[in-house]
Structure 1
Amino acid sequence: MESMPVNWEALDSLVVDFAKSENLIEDSISSPSSSPSSPSSPSSLSYRSRLLIRQIRRSLEIGDVDAAINLLRIHAPFVLHDHRLLFRLQKQKFIELLRRGTAKDRDSAIECLRKELAPCALDAYPEAYEEFKHVLLALIFDKDDQASPVANEWSERKRSDIAGLLSSVLRAHLHAYDPVFSMTLRYLISIHKGFCFRQGISSPISDLTERLLLEERDPPATTEESLYEAPPFDEVDIQALAHAVELTRQGAVDSLRFAKGDLIQAFQNELCRMKLDVPMLDELVHEYCVYRGIVNSSLTSRSASCIQSPGKPLEIYQQDCECGSSRGCSVDIAYKSVDHPDTETSICNAEMSGPQVTNADNLSIQCADVESRFAYEVIGNREDCSTSETHQAENYKGSQRSRSHSIGPRNRRKRWRGRTEKLDFGHDDSDTVSSKQELITPTPAVNPEGLEEQQVLVKHSPPENFKKKGDCKYEIVLEMKELVSKGMAAEVVEEVNTMDPNFFAQNPLLLFQLKQVEFLKLVTSGDHSSALRVACSYLGPLAASDPALLKPLKETLLALLKPNEDALAKGVPLSVLATSLQVAMGRRLGIEEPQLMKIMRATLHSHNEWFRIQLCKDRFEGLLRIDTLKEINTPLLIDVTSKANADTSTTGSSQITISSSSRMPEDGGSPSQVSSRDVICDESAILKVMEFLALPRADAISLLAQYNGNAETVIQQIFA
């Protein structure tokens, strides 16, 4: 599972879309009007609809039925036109009035019975009047009497049930579906859990998935049509929906009926019924965004990255970056104006104050070479760094050479806002809920150093824990990642060797890949002599020490024979290589990769294996952009990379075994193991067995394989 290649650029896009849709981030230099809550934003309608649904859900969950009804009357009156839903709301309102226990509220409950609940019970649905008479017993039985015949009506579980039901109805009618990434995560985790359970293997991410995807689901929205009529839907759609979101066949039929036969809409409705731990999801997204450089890790004004002196090992550099926390040192950096924001700017040595430390620690942190990408922030924020007249350029030659190739401006990174929800639905009815209700959801802060997590309230400001010791390390790793993404492999090798001469000795595969990129880049530019020098100096010796690299080396050298083609396009995708380097350097510096990356690797692997067993293609992977997450261009070294990742992983996929079906041979001898792929099963036979026996597709195929693909024989044997 750890070796599963993932298109991290596609995941970046999904995550950013999610964060923007949920108003979790904002551009550092953007105006407030660009948030999703702004009327000019394309996603504002869906965002406001989701906020409305959340507010109605919360009102019902705390027993404030009147507030929920008022919001529905103003923003979704069609719900109140459905007497089935209105009856359930009025019944819950009656119970909540009684629950308050005062004489005034009891009188209000009786008034609710006479004017609202009784009239609605007459035509809500056939059983409504019986339910009405039953709920009258709440007038004489106490809410704390667990043995009473109306103990279920008093249960607070009723609140969450009706809140979930209304959420399902509103979501479908308002098309207020969760962002694609949220639905994709639900789907992949659901498949992962089912795959591990059926294959009898332990999940390496069970501690995450069990907390993230809750077992509880919202009640399904159903139509008023009779459940006994024959479903006018294709059996293929019914079975696809049933097994994609773990429904019974009748449940899938009901869902399709509610969606008027639209399979995609039914699928979205069912996915959004699954409940995610929202604070945990926000935490995972934030951690990933910081790791990938999508959002600022610390103060938005921080403008310098700390670079150690040439030849200084990463271990010592890590100690220096941590000095402020581990030894109580402080770093004083004064500001000096920048005259030329478009040119590279030098930053002084940090002045360290504190107790005497070891010789290694005397290698002070030196902040150098803040590129033009930091100029904007240096000008706008005067508390962090300055230019020192005592800067000694000779100490930074190695760093300057690579850092002169400036990369994208850091101020383009987003600022993390957190889940701050401001509900302003703009009505003036004094009897309704307040027109402005600000709700702040506690969002767990993410600690990049793996320290104990803590709960904080986030309101339009980044979490404080990223103002700690990890900023320098994050910046250096992100800079190397971005340089690789731009194809600057030679500069990256030089820079990394300057920082830690032992890094590539421990990661020879990364060095081979980087030199492979450099070789192909030289070939593309027509400089064949320099390309051959790279091959002789690096690629050849590395392949000689690792036989697995010989084949990629031969294929790489073939680029010399096709000078008119873009050789670089056939190499390892730069985004894949950049992420590999980021992970390796991060681990070297004590930065663990985000948990979201582990979840995606494991769940995408399970998705592949699950549909390989099903012998079919996932009908929903395009909708959820799962196909783009798996889109990795065929590189020259992808198999070797996957093998190396698998060898270094703590929990690999070696546990996974696909059991074959057994079949009795015609001569009556002992059963022999026959793979279900050896028997070609007709699609109609598969569907027939799935329908009659209520089996998953894989089990149906396995049974058909035992009986030569004959569905009638399978059914007869089961019921015999």
Structure 2
Amino acid sequence: MDDMDSTPVNWEALDALIIGFAKSENLIEGLLGSSSPPSSPASPSSSSSSSSSSSSSLSTSSYHSRLIISKTRRSLEAGDIDTAMDLLRAHAPSILDDRRLLFRLQKQKFIELLRKGTAEGRDAAIACLRTALAPCALDAYPEAYEEFKHVLLAFIYGKDDQASPVANEWSERRRFDVAGLMSCVLRAHLHAYDPVFSMTLRYLISIHKGYCFQQGIVSPISDLTQRLLLDECDPPATAQESLYEVPPFDEVDVQALAQAVELTRQAAVDSLRFSKGDLFMAFQNELCRMRLDVSMLNELVCEYCVYRGIMDYGLASTLVLEPKVNQPEPGWSSSRNFSLEVDSSVNKHSDGKTSINMGGSPENNADVSSKQGTDVELRYACEPSSNHDDCSTSGLNVSENPRVLQRYRTHGSGQRGKRKRWRGRDDDQYGVPFDECSRQELSTTTLVSSTSISKEQQGSGKHSILDVNSRVDKYEIMLGMKDLASKGMAAEVVEEVTAMDPNFFVQNPILLFKIMQVEFLKLVSSGDYSSALRVACSHLGPLAASNPALLKPLKETLLALLQPNEDALGKGLPLHALSTSLQVAIGRRLDIEEPQLMKIMKVSLYSHDEWFKLQMCKDRFESHLRIDSLKEVNTLLLTSVGMSNLNGATSTLGSSQVTISSSTKISEDGSSPNQVSPRDVGCDENAILKVMEFLALPRADAIHLLAQYNGNAEMVIQQIFA
């Protein structure tokens, strides 16, 4: 379970997926149709402008197409067949040329007219039989006329007779089956697939459920996944051709689709036929059949956007919070102090101090710290105070360091202007009224749930570092420090964090080590080797000496001195991942819990890795769903440190830790280094597919069987049928 919770994730890639989802679904004000920024008028090429316009147009078109699908679904689920057919005639008239679908709609209309229980309804049902249903039954499909005669029994047996031969026809479940089928057909016809993030979430959760079931383990996120991914799926849409003809499809595609979305081989063939052989379109069709709880997904996305600073929560907070963003208290300076020397009063709770000099040339440091000068002094508490051994923040008060709150109130007022407002779903999209008040209520509920104070603190009357009524200020402090870390401003991060809580890095030495790695590499990159060595001697060395697990990362960090011509702060240093680790740790010190979506992604990505190790192959669809980008956590310089194994105080930080051992990388064929790959047992890919096809077995089981018979597929099949 700890491994699941400590899976590294590229949070920057997830941010991009979430923003794309919000744009596609028009959930945040001002984002619809703006998935690509407009090109500058002075652009030398018009291609980028046309590409941006095309992307915007496609985004808007897809959104409106999904609205049409949603309206059609709602009409059918409510039994309003006429309205649904009017929508189809207006937006996708060719669908009604399919006699199979038309027959299903007319049959449901007949039942809905009888369901009214009035004389007028009965007369209208008879008229529907004569003019629409009977003629359509003659050539819809071979069984249609028998179904037509069977549904006539609805005249005799009422809707309340559960023992009648037409109880299934009367069932309201039929409405949802028809609605789901038409949604699948419309989606493929209009090419209005759900946003990538929505499909990715479905896929990862379904794999996680399958992995937990096969391994017999209890999912740590079962309470979320059971509510988010519903058990029921929409019925599959099938092509008009016969289902029994020989499929002209590559068996590799058939098995890949069947294994990915848990279909029988015949169902996978039918799905490929409906998509005219397009594997990825068939895959999307099958994923979109899975039903998500839309309202819960909205809440998860809203919570994540607030936490990551993507969305403005000021509007939501006004109902229960009263942040004083632009009203600094008397005596506070509104200008930001860029000195990296921590006020001695900040450290008055610590018995020990360690100071280092992180000098650098003005031109080398101007872009990172905005500090002119050659010597910068940084002091921080390195040992817990004898009077404050308890790690709890409940005894701390921001009044001891008022400049911290002032800085981030000032910082926050500027940052908020760049954030978006939560808009929510349209009234006509999912039938849920979202007026301004309810939008505020949703955002407020999400915000309060993620920043709630523990019952113990509420009962005792104690507060966190900030006052209970200053949740907005808490967020600005957390997001401000994350922003500094993402820019590589390591010295300022240490200053600000220490000013907020002198004991923070005492309880989080691994995080301090990684922040100082950033400073070291920044100085190496700028050519200031003497200052870099001072950082290593004053910070990295003592931290590694107190924790042997840091010795290997220290050695690998020092190797940067051997590569003076390379950009040490380039792709080798995942600042965004480090900033997220800092955000999580700071947030928890401020009683701000991680968003639930973070936990879902960590656990499900772990399951995805483990599942395909068991299958001994690579996932053909991971790049299509951006799963590969979510796993792209660069670990070149921030080498592996098992956070949960080092000390209890930093174990929670491992949930968004950026490090992972290079030895855990999956080999090219998708297998774990400690597992047997198909090549190791002499299994040919064609033999694997043959056993999977003939015996209807999962890939891993087919490989294990072949291993017992030296990779001979014919011998395996003979033994099974003998």
TM bucket normalised to smaller: 0.7 to 0.9
1:131 is matched with 147
Give the match's secondary structure for 2:5: coil
Q: Does 1:59 align with 2:83?
A: no
Q: Mapping of 1:511-660 within 5 angstroms?
A: 511-569=512-570, 572-640=573-641, 648=651
Equivalents in 2 of 1:168, 1:689: separation in Å? Answer: 32
Asked if 2 retains the 8 angstrom alpha-carbon contact of 1:3 and 1:645, the reply is: no
Over residues 459-489 of structure 1, what are the superposed CA-to-partner deviations in whole Å (9 max), with x where a residue is unaligned? xxxxxxxx96421111101000010010100
Q: CA deviation at 1:598?
A: 0.7
1:228 matches 2:244? yes
Between the aligned partners of 1:372 and 1:586, the Cα distance in structure 2 is 19
What whole-Å deviation, never above 9, does each CA across 1:230-283 have from its counterpart, x for those lacking one? 111010000000010110000000000111111011011001000111111111
Compared CA separation, residues 440 and 13, structure 1 to 2 (3 A):
same
Q: Pick closer, same or farther for the CA change 1:313–1:536 going to 2, 3 Å.
A: closer
Structure 2 letter corresponding to 1:64: D
Q: Which amino acid aligns with 1:508?
A: P
Query: Do 1:60 and 1:68's aligned partners in 2 also have CA atoms closer than 8 Å?
Result: yes
Aligned to 2:446: 446
* Greater mean alpha carbon deviation, residues 413-422 or residues 474-483: 413-422
| Aligned twin of 1:4 | 7
Note if 1:304 corresponds to 2:305.
no
1:102-501 mapped onto 2 (5 Å cutoff): 102-299=118-315, 304=325, 368-369=406-407, 409-422=415-428, 440=434, 445-450=445-450, 469-501=470-502
Q: Structure 1: state its 5+ residue gaps.
A: 316-342, 344-357, 377-408, 425-436, 454-466, 653-672
Tell me which amino acid in the other structure corresponds to 2:683: C
Residues in 1 aligned to 2:420 and 2:396: alpha-carbon distance in whole angstroms? 39
Measure the CA separation in 2 of the matches of 1:94 and 1:697. 46
Quick one: structure 1 residues 283 and 359, their matched pair in 2 at CA, closer, same or farther if it must change by over 3 Å? closer
CA shift, 1:97, in A, is 0.7
Per-residue CA deviations over 1:5-38 (Å, capped at 9, x if unaligned) read 111000000000001100000249999xx999x9
CA distance in 2, matches of 1:119, 1:29: 44
From the superposition, tell whether residues 589 and 30 of structure 1 become closer, same or farther in structure 2 (CA, over 3 Å). farther
What is the count of residue pairs matched by the alignment? 600
Question: Partners of 1:84 and 1:22 in 2: how far apart?
Answer: 32
The answer for the alignment partner of 1:688 in structure 2 is: 690
Match of 2:421, SS state, is: strand
User: How many Å apart are 1:561 and its aligned residue?
Assistant: 2.7
Which amino acid is the alignment partner of residue 182 of structure 1? S
Greater mean deviation of Cα atoms: 291-300 or 255-264: 291-300
Provide closer, same or farther for how the CA distance between residues 712 and 215 of structure 1 changes in structure 2, counting only shifts above 3 A.
Answer: same
SS of 2:641's partner is helix
Give me the whole-angstrom Cα distance separating, in 2, the residues matched to 1:245 and 1:610: 13
**2:14 and 2:630 in contact (8 A); partners too:** yes
Contact 1:51 1:421 in 2 (8 A): no
Shift of 1:450: 4.5
The residue number in structure 1 matching 2:111 is: 95
Q: Is 2:325–2:410's contact at 8 Å kept on the other side of the alignment?
A: no
Q: Is the 8 A contact 2:25 2:32 kept in 1?
A: no
Contact 2:346/2:498, CA 8 A, preserved across alignment: no
Shift of residue 412, structure 1, vs aligned partner: 1.2
- SS of the residue corresponding to residue 167 of structure 1 reads helix
Displacement of 1:637: 2.6
Is the 1:165–1:221 contact (alpha carbons within 8 Å) kept by the matching residues of 2? yes
Distance 1:490 1:361, change over 3 A: closer
Instruction: Please tell me whether the aligned partners of residues 252 and 689 of structure 2 are also in contact (alpha carbons under 8 angstroms).
Output: yes
**Counterpart residue number, 1:701:** 703
* Counterpart Cα distance in 2 of 1:111 and 1:597: 56
How far is the alpha carbon of 1:639 from its aligned partner? 1.4
Change (3 A) 1:362 1:230: closer
User: 8 Å contact 1:53–1:167 — kept in the other structure?
Assistant: yes
The answer (yes or no) to whether the contact 1:28–1:415 under 8 Å persists in 2 is no
Native 8 Å contact 1:512 1:538 kept in 2: yes
* Structure 1 CA distance for aligned equivalents of residues 33 and 106 of structure 2: 46
For structure 1, which segment, 303-312 or 55-64, has the greater mean C-alpha deviation from structure 2 after superposition? Answer: 303-312
SS of residue in 1 equivalent to 2:232: strand
**CA–CA distance in structure 2, aligned partners of residues 220 and 233 of structure 1:** 19
Give the equivalent residue in structure 1 for 2:671: none
Instruction: Report Cα offsets for 1:267-318 as digits up to 9, x if no partner.
Output: 1100100011111111111111111000012238967289999767999xxx
TM-score, normalising length: structure 2: 0.77
1:711 maps to 713
Contact 1:524-1:567 at 8 Å conserved across structures: yes
Q: Distance in 2 between matches of 1:365 and 1:28?
A: 37
SS at match of 2:634: coil
Which amino acid letter does the alignment assign opposite residue 574 of structure 2? P
Cα deviation code 1:522-556 (max 9, x no counterpart):
11112222111111111100010111111111121
Instruction: Give the direction of change, closer, same or farther, for the CA distance of 1:116–1:67 in structure 2 (3 Å limit).
Output: same
* Preserved contact between residue 186 and residue 274 of structure 1 (Cα < 8 Å): yes
- The answer on whether the counterparts of 1:421 and 1:438 sit within 8 Å (CA) in structure 2 is yes
Question: Match of 1:208, as an amino acid?
Answer: L
**Alpha-carbon distance in 1 for matches of 2:247, 2:126:** 43
Counterpart selection for 1:16 from 8, 16, 19? 19
| TM superposition shift of 1:562 | 2.5
Q: Deviations over 1:373-403 (max 9, x none)?
A: 6666xxxxxxxxxxxxxxxxxxxxxxxxxxx
Q: Give the conservation status (yes or no) of the 8 Å contact 2:300–2:597.
A: yes
Q: 1 CA distance for matches of 2:152 and 2:305? A: 54
Amino acid at match of 1:537: S
CA–CA separation in structure 2 for the residues paired with 1:520 and 1:468: 40
User: What is the rounded CA distance, in whole Å, between the counterparts of 1:711 and 1:165 in structure 2?
Assistant: 39
Instruction: Letter of the 2:86 partner, please give it.
Output: N
Task: Please state whether the residue corresponding to 2:711 is helix, strand or coil.
Answer: coil
Q: Secondary structure at the match of 1:639?
A: coil
Q: Is the 8 A contact 1:56 1:163 kept in 2?
A: yes
Rate the CA distance shift 1:620–1:107 in 2: closer, same or farther, 3 A: same
Separation (CA, whole Å) in 1 of partners of 2:183 and 2:348: 52
- Corresponding residue number in structure 2 for 1:379: none
> Partner of 1:716: helix, strand, or coil?
helix
Equivalent-residue separation in structure 1 for 2:489 and 2:688 (angstroms): 52
Greater CA drift, 302-311 or 634-643: 302-311
2:668 corresponding residue in structure 1:
none
CA RMSD in angstroms comes to 3.5
Kept in 2, the 8 Å contact 1:168–1:220? The answer is yes
Between 1:79-88 and 1:177-186, the stretch displaced more is 79-88
Between Structure 1 and Structure 2, the one with more helix by share is: 2
- Structure 2: which 5+ residue stretches go unaligned? 39-51, 333-342, 350-369, 371-394, 454-467, 656-673
Letter in 2 for 1:66: D
Give the Cα–Cα distance (whole angstroms) in 1 for the partners of residues 187 and 32 of structure 2. Answer: 33
Structure 1 counterpart of 2:553, one-letter code: P
Contact 1:548–1:640 (8 Å) recurs in 2: yes
In the alignment, is the contact (CA less than 8 A) between 1:2 and 1:645 conserved in 2? Answer: no
Rounded to whole Å, the distance in 2 between the matches of 1:516 and 1:651 is 18
How far does the alpha carbon of each residue in 1:116-159 deviate from its partner, in whole angstroms, 9 at most, with x for none?
Answer: 11111111111111111111111121110111111111000000
